[in-house]
Amino acid sequence: MANDLEFVGAKGMKVAFIGSECYPFIKTGGLGDVMYALPRALLRQGCEVRVILPCYRCIPEKYRERMTYVGSFGMNLTSDGRSFYVGIMELELDGVTYDFIDNRDFFDWGNPYTGLWEDIPKYCYFSKASLAALNFLEWIPDVIHCHDWQAALVPVYLRTLFDVTPVGSARSVLTIHNLRFQGICSIEHLKYWTGLPDFLFNYPVFKVNDHEANMFKGGLAYADRITTVSSTYAGEIQTDFYGEGLNSHLWYHRAKLIGIVNGIDIDIWNSRTDKLLPVPYGEENVLKAKRENKKALQTRLGLTVDENKLVIGLISRLTDQKGLDLIDAVFTQMVDENVQVVILGTGDPRYENAFRYYENTFKGQVCAYIKYDESLAHQIYAGSDALLVPSLFEPCGLTQLIAMRYGTVPIVRETGGLKDTVEPYNEYTGEGNGFTFDQYRADLLLDAVRRAERVYFEERSRWDAIVTRDMEKDVSWEHSADLYLKLYGELKG
C-alpha cells in the first residue's frame, strides 16, 4: 500500500476538510467524529491538513479563548449583491490547524442546527466563505474534502465562481454520512442565498421539481469524487429504498462513487488504558477482565450480579432507524432467566417509555438508562457480552466497531457498514466475528439473539475465540486513511 501511495504522489499533499461539526468543538453525531479522527490520521501519514468549521457561539469557552484572530474581509453572497463580514479565527490542536469562519449573524444562534429555513442561508454563507478564506490565507489545498449537505455547495462554488481563483486548482471530494438530510428548499430561496447563476437550477444540478432545489444534489453533481462511509451503503443508496429520492442521481454518478468504511479513535477507545473501566484489559486477559467488568456493571445498574448471565448492551439513539421497533416486538421473548439487557440512550418517547416499562417488569434483568452518560457507555462496552445493533439502515455505524475493540460480540442486521464490518458466525467452521440477520424482521432478530445465546452457553470456547478475534481486528482510522490517501492521489494525478 505504501509504495502505491508514494507512486501516485499522495504523501505530503495538502487537504482541507470542510464540514459543519467536529469533535471536540461541536458534535451531534458521527460526522463530528470523522472530522476529528480522519484529519489526525492523515497528519500521521504525512499530509498537511486544515479543518474549516463555523465559529458557533456554543463552542466551549476553553477552546474559544485559545483561538487567534487571523484576518477578515467582506464577501458578496446573495443574488442582489449583499456583502457579509467573514472573520477567520484559528486554533491548532495536536498538529491539526482549525480555521473557524466567524459571523455572528449566522453562528450566534445557540445550537448549530436550528431549522432548515434558517440553516440554508447559514451554510450557503459557510460554503462560499470557506473557499474565500483559503484564498485569503493563501493556503491552496490539493484536495478539498467536504462533508454532508451543509458543505455540499463547496464543489459547486469551486467549479463556478471560484474556478479562476487560486483555490480553483483544488479537486473536491464530497462524503455522504447520512443521505436522509439533504438541504431542500424553494428554488428562489436557494437562488437568492447562493448568488449562483440560473443555469445551475435545472434538473442535472439543483432542481428536484418545479418549485424545489436540493443542495446535496448539486454538490453530488459537481464533486470530483463522491464517497460514503461503507461499501454496502454506497450500493444501497442507489436503490429506491435507501436512496432518499436521490437514487437515480447517484446511479448516474456511480462511476465516481465509492464506499470507505469509517474507523474509530483507538486512543479514546482503548480497553488497556480506559480510565473509566473498573478493570482495564487487553487480549491476553480479556476473558477474566470482562467477567469483572460485568459484575461491576451489574452492581452499578442494580441488576442481579451473576457472571454467568449473558448481558446484551444497547447504546443508541432511540429512533426507528436503529431498529428499535424490532426489539420492542420481541423484547419479552428475548429476556429470560439467562439474559440481561442494558439500554443507554434517549430519543423517541415511545421507545423511552417502552424500555422504562420493561425495566419495571423485569426487575434485576433489565436496566433502561434514558440519558447519555459517557462513563456508563464505556462500562457497557466492557461489561456486556454482546451488543445489539439491528438498524433499519446504518451508513457505517461506530458502536459495533467500539464493541469489537472491547471484546463485545456484535449482533447486527446486514445493512450498510454493519454488513461490511461484521462477518457472520459460521457454526460449521467457527469463523466469523458476530451474529447477523438479513431481512428487517423481528423474528430474524430474535433468531440471531438465540444463536448467540446458544454459542455463549453451549460452545463457550468458540464464543471466547470470537471475543479474541474481535479484539484483534483492526478498526482504527489508519486503514481508512490509506484508502483516502489513494483516492486523493488519484485525483491529484
Segment 269-303, tens digit of pLDDT: 999 999 999 999 999 999 999 999 999 999 999 99
Res 10: pLDDT = 58
Q: Considering the domain 283-473, what is its CATH architecture?
A: 3-Layer(aba) Sandwich (3.40)
pLDDT at 7 over 80: no
Average pLDDT, whole number, for the chain?
Answer: 95
Cβ neighbours of residue 132 closer than 8 Å, sequence gap 6 or more: 73, 75, 86, 162
Res 3: pLDDT = 40
129-153 pLDDT per residue, tens: 999 999 999 999 999 999 999 999 9
Cβ neighbours of residue 186 closer than 8 Å, sequence gap 6 or more: 211, 212, 213
Residues 217 and 206: their CA atoms lie apart, in Å, by: 6
pLDDT at 357 over 70: yes
Residues 357 and 335: their CA atoms lie apart, in Å, by: 13
Res 29: pLDDT = 81
pLDDT band at 115 (very low <50, low <70, confident <90, very high): confident
Are 139 and 125 within 8 A, CB to CB?
no
- Grid look-up 448467540 returns 452
CATH superfamily for 2-263+478-492 is Glycogen Phosphorylase B; (3.40.50.2000)
DSSP letter assigned to residue 119:
H
Asked whether this chain's domains 2-263+478-492 and 283-473 adopt the same fold, the reply is yes
Residues 180 and 186: their CA atoms lie apart, in Å, by: 18
pLDDT at 1 over 60: no
Residue boundaries of the structural domains of the chain: 2-263+478-492, 283-473
* Residue 343 grid cell: 439500554
Bond from prior residue into 24 cis (ω within 30 degrees of 0): yes
What beta strand segments (E) does 112-224 contain?
A: 143-147, 171-176, 184-186, 212-214
Res 53: pLDDT = 98
Least confident of 109-118, 308-317, 323-332, 403-412: 109-118
Mean pLDDT value across residues 36-42? 94
Res 28: pLDDT = 84
- Which amino acid makes up residue 402? I
pLDDT band at 117 (very low <50, low <70, confident <90, very high): confident
DSSP letter assigned to residue 53:
E
Residues 358 and 365: their CA atoms lie apart, in Å, by: 9
Please measure the distance between the N-terminal and C-terminal CA atoms of the chain and give it in whole angstroms: 17
pLDDT at 430 over 80: yes
Mean pLDDT value across residues 125-131? 98
Residues 164 and 158: their CA atoms lie apart, in Å, by: 9
DSSP letter assigned to residue 162:
T
Mean pLDDT value across residues 43-72? 96
- Which amino acid makes up residue 89? M
Res 4: pLDDT = 43
153-198 pLDDT per residue, tens: 999 999 999 999 999 999 999 999 989 999 999 999 999 999 999 9
Residues 136 and 129: their CA atoms lie apart, in Å, by: 10
Nearest to 295 by CA among 384, 235, 233, 363: 384
What is the pTM (predicted TM-score) of this model? 0.91
Nearest to 173 by CA among 135, 206, 132, 141: 141
Residues 385 and 168: their CA atoms lie apart, in Å, by: 52
